[in-house]
Each structure stands twice: as C-alpha cells, then as structure tokens.
Structure 1
C-alpha cells in the first residue's frame, strides 16, 4: 500500500465529512467484508479518497450515487462489478464484491468462474446480459448495438444506464485500488 492509513482522529474537516458519508453507506450496504481496521481507519479505495478529499469526494459521489439509485437486482450488479474488478485485477474490489455477491444469492461456483475470467454457463437471463455488457465495455470498444438492445430489452433504458455507469464507476474504483496498490485485508474468513 502506497499511502498510510488515516485514523479517524487525524482527519481534517473535509476528510471527516467524507469519512462519515462513506461510513453511512458501508454500515447500510457492505455487510461482511472488512473496510476498516481496528482503529477505524478506512481500507480499500476509501483511504486514498481520504488522502485527497478534493478528488475523493468526487469519486465517492459517483460511487454513492450508484448505491442510492440502484433499481436492478443486487446479484445482477455484483456480476457486472466482478467482471470489471477481474478484468482490471483490482484485488480489494474482487475481495469485497465476492462477499457482496454471495450475500445477494450468487452461488460461490458462479462467483469463482467469473473471478477466474470465464463466463459461467448457469447465469440467469439478467445476469447473462449484465455479464456480456460488462465484458464488452471492459474490452474498451464501442458496445455492439445488438448487446445494447438486449440490455434495454432486459432492463429498460434506466436499468441499462445503471449497468453502463456502474462499470464506469468501478473502473474508477479499480484504478484507485491499483494505483495505490491497495491490498486485501487480513481476515479470518
């Protein structure tokens, strides 16, 4: 890790405001994975966001918007996030979203296949479209018209926008994680 962890007691006003906003979502939505150390310092992409709050607030605003305005089933979103994290090799993102996917009902075997860089054969229709859209966007080219249309047919225009913006958001998260060489926390699980 390229940045030291920031204890909550050492935070400036801007950092504390960002910390509190992050913790609100973490407490509501993150479930069983470790995002703070014993002293309360944030791990994952959150520590770099706190170090540079001018950038971190903007990055967090996008991430928080994805949590606040999600309409699609969580399992579908987790598939798209895992495809993205795997493509970019973002260890902490994979670590956390494996757990979130399990909590949303995605079977461990399906998660393992996605994290291995393969497309599971037993995806639901919605998961399959989310997987294919995320995989295509992660290749860095124009999304094929047929795949875009399949997404709109499956999720509607708003749902398709949610997947597209989610993939973009988690590219940003993965870049932060990889840029600062953020490790997976030591856990007992």
Structure 2
C-alpha cells in the first residue's frame, strides 16, 4: 500500500500551501505530519481543520486524558493506524492505563475503567456503531461533562473520523511509534 498523497516538496508548494504548512509547524504540533500531509492539497480546508483539531486536542471541555481516550476509540473503529501510532503514546502519558488501551486495540470493552472513562467509551462506541447515542449514555455524559463537554465529545469523534477518512483514503504511511501497532 503506497502513500497516495505523500509529502509535497517545499519548492513545489503554492504560496497558500506554504502558509498553511507553516501555521502547523509554528503551532503546538511543531511539524507537518499525519493527516495534514494529504490535507495540504486543500490549504483552506487544512487551515480550518487544524484550528478545530488544535482546540479539540489541547483545550476541549472534557480534558486531554478523556479526549485521547475518545481518539483511540475512533482510531480503532476506523482501523486508523496513523491515529493510533500518534495518540496511543500520548494517551499513555496522560494516564490511560495500558490494559484499557490494549482492550480498545483488540476491539473489546475494557474491564477496569474509571467512571469518566466508561462514559466516554460508551458514548464513542454508540456514536460510531449506532450512529446515535442512547438516552442513558447521553444523560451519563451530560451529568459528568455538561452540554459543553457533550458537544466537544461529539466534536472529537467527528473530527478524528474526518482525519481517519482522509488518511484511510490517502493511505498515509504509519509513522514510527513507541506504541504497539493497532492490529488489523
């Protein structure tokens, strides 16, 4: 499987592509990688997407730990190995236990989750698999996170689904990672 939309040499970039790439390099990500490489073909889409992603990844109302959990569930549901390679080490750093990550990687419901992790997991799984969220799961999320948190949780699922679609279509190469690879 070859990378359909790999890196663009700097000398081949348009001015709009250079500006969009530099905004990512100068931001908290520090480099142009993963989904932003294929998205560079549409600089305005890239710019808007990366700004949304910056908020959802670094400042969402549910916090970084639970955002990373939601990203891992999304990566598993979309079989997205790049997202997994990038985010599994971050999830481990912010406190998602290895057993929880291992169960998610295998497509299983983790047994030993904190209450907030369980609520996020159930919300994400229902949203991805059922294309909706039951009243019980919605009300659990609402009680823990409020409306702002519920909306951000929906946003994280949607944003990382978008990135998964981009990378699955582009066949983006999986970067080296300290995490075990996501199984097929």
TM bin, normalised by shorter chain, reads 0.7 to 0.9
Counterpart secondary structure, 2:29: helix
Counterpart secondary structure, 2:40: helix
1:77 matched residue in structure 2: 67
RMSD: 1.9
CA drift of 1:173 comes to: 0.6
Counterpart secondary structure, 1:51: coil
Q: Name which of 132, 135, 139 aligns with 1:142.
A: 132
2:39 matched residue in structure 1: 49
CA drift of 1:157 comes to: 1.0
Check the 8 A contact 1:72/1:159 in 2, yes or no: yes
- Supply the distance in 2 between the matched residues of 1:104 and 1:188 (Cα, whole angstroms): 15
TM-score (norm 1): 0.84
Query: What is the number of residues matched between the two proteins?
Result: 176
2:50 matched residue in structure 1: 60
Gapped regions of structure 2 (runs ≥ 5): 180-184
Gapped regions of structure 1 (runs ≥ 5): 28-35, 37-41
Check the 8 A contact 1:82/1:98 in 2, yes or no: yes
CA drift of 1:51 comes to: 1.9
Check the 8 A contact 1:8/1:16 in 2, yes or no: yes
* 1:20 paired to 2:36: no
Residues 1-189 of structure 1 correspond to what in structure 2 (within 5 A)?
Answer: 1-23=3-25, 24-27=27-30, 42-67=32-57, 69-186=59-176
Q: Encode CA deviations 1:2-61: one digit per residue, 9 max, x unaligned.
A: 02312445432211221122221213xxxxxxxx5xxxxx33101011122133223223
Check the 8 A contact 2:4/2:170 in 1, yes or no: yes
Check the 8 A contact 2:80/2:164 in 1, yes or no: yes
- Supply the distance in 2 between the matched residues of 1:187 and 1:114 (Cα, whole angstroms): 17
CA drift of 1:68 comes to: 5.4
Q: Encode CA deviations 1:93-117: one digit per residue, 9 max, x unaligned.
A: 0111101101111122221111111
Greater relative CO, 1 or 2 (CA 8 Å, sep 6+): 2
Counterpart secondary structure, 2:77: helix
Counterpart secondary structure, 1:139: helix
Check the 8 A contact 1:59/1:172 in 2, yes or no: no
- Supply the distance in 1 between the matched residues of 2:11 and 2:28 (Cα, whole angstroms): 20
1:33 matched residue in structure 2: none
